[in-house]
Amino acid sequence: MMLGFIADLSTQYSVLLLVCMIAVCLFEAINGFHDTANAVATVIYTKTLPPIFAVVWAGIWNFLGAFLGGVAVAMGIVKLMPINDLINVEVGVNVALVLSILLSAIIWNLGTWYLGIPSSSSHTLIGSLLGGGFAFYSIYGGSGPNWQKASEIGLSLFISPLFGFSLAILLMYMLRRMVTSKTIFKSPDDTKKRPPIWIRAILVTTCTLVSYFHGNNDGQKGVGLALVVLMAFLPLQFAMNPQIQTADLAASVRKIEAALTTSVANGEHIEAVRPVISKANALAARLDSTDRQDKKEIMVARKEINSLNKSLKSLLENGVVTKEATATAKAEMKSLTQSYEFSPTWVVALIAICLGGGTMVGWKRIVVTIGEKIGKNHLTYAQGASAELCAAATIGVSSAFGLPVSTTHVLSSGIAGTMVASGGVKNLQPKTVKSMAIAWLLTLPVTFTLSALLFYVFRMFV
């Protein structure tokens, strides 16, 4: 647990670390206000489940999604930041950085939630990370934010709502062709009567899928944010997996080196393979002498392991080594990756709990917007199921590729798609769509600017 590491910090920085982790928890709870509310919107609005049962059910599946989802998306968040540069400055500067990121994200998320606008927590977090990272770079230099990774994430955030919108239209068209019952295309009435059991089964299933994949994707974003904070304060404990010994890493590198050397001995693509062999040889020597108590050595080793993995991946994709060498390299690459792409179980559990708790507190505003304000007609059972099924598919695929997406934008665009499928563009409510579009366009630049400005202010006090 984190309390075991606090002894390594001064009293002042121990308090600040606790403050920052509480802020991470608050951000993730607000994420629940925004995003997890989307998962329960249809089952609550259609009277399929009572609100208390719906949010508890969603909270359980969010927890499972975050707990079982791995760390691919979390590492995508971590890689946005110039982690290696943070060790060259005082801890106080890192405190200013993480506080600026957290406060920027919290302020924007709370504001849009209060107005009932389904804004994206993903855009909010990424804009804040890039803004803080840019401000840090402008003063202290270094590599700056990872713009290449940011462009990959940005493309994912842009394409996923369009995909959800189009898929929802297609699914609604198929349902109208294939389902003879008209009940599924009706809106819930004003009575407390629940829909037929087969409709409830569909809606509970889609709610479960969205909840699980939301935890899988958005839960990992919170994990990534927590790891940024922990690495900024405690790089020795969190920059590299303490459960993996340096000697074991060196052994893995030497197995890769030996496999590639055998491939070269067979006379295959010598010029392409030799540079990677040299890199592996140098890394193995470095790992033999790395002091796990020296944070600079730890960060250099982490960077070089990552670099070797990238070189190996490129080499193996080109098919320039033997099958035997490829099999050995892939097996050992997993061990190397786990040395710097990891998250303690307690971090994952903490984030999952905060997501579920946030859902139970603030779901109502977003549920009303999803159910009644996107289209001119109230949400039907078919529309709710279609939108959630599209959202679950989109988020699940994105998580598999380690790409963060916005649950809010994917589901909202899916709802919009079902409304268009049911009555054309004129079936959308212009005021709500306009508010959502403005929030979508403003979130990145506003959080980027706010985070940067907050860092410039906070650093004057460290």
As to burial, measured by CB atoms within 10 angstroms (0-12 exposed, 13-18 middle, 19+ buried), residue 207 is: buried
Q: What is the largest CA-CA distance in the chain?
A: 78
Instruction: Show pLDDT as tens, one digit a residue, over the chain (462 residues).
Output: 555 555 566 778 888 888 889 989 988 888 776 666 667 777 777 778 887 788 788 878 877 887 787 777 888 888 888 877 777 778 788 888 989 999 998 898 888 777 766 667 778 888 999 999 999 988 888 778 888 878 877 787 778 888 888 888 888 888 888 877 777 777 766 556 677 787 788 888 888 888 888 888 878 888 888 988 888 888 878 888 888 889 999 999 999 999 888 877 666 567 778 888 899 999 999 999 888 888 888 888 888 998 999 888 888 887 778 888 888 988 999 889 888 888 888 888 888 888 777 766 655 655 555 544 454 456 677 877 788 888 888 888 887 777 777 777 787 778 788 878 776 666 666 666 666 677 677 888 899 999 999 999 998 876
Angle 147-178/407-423 helices, nearest 10 degrees? 30
- The answer for residues whose C-beta is within 8 angstroms of residue 60's C-beta and 6 or more apart is 211, 356
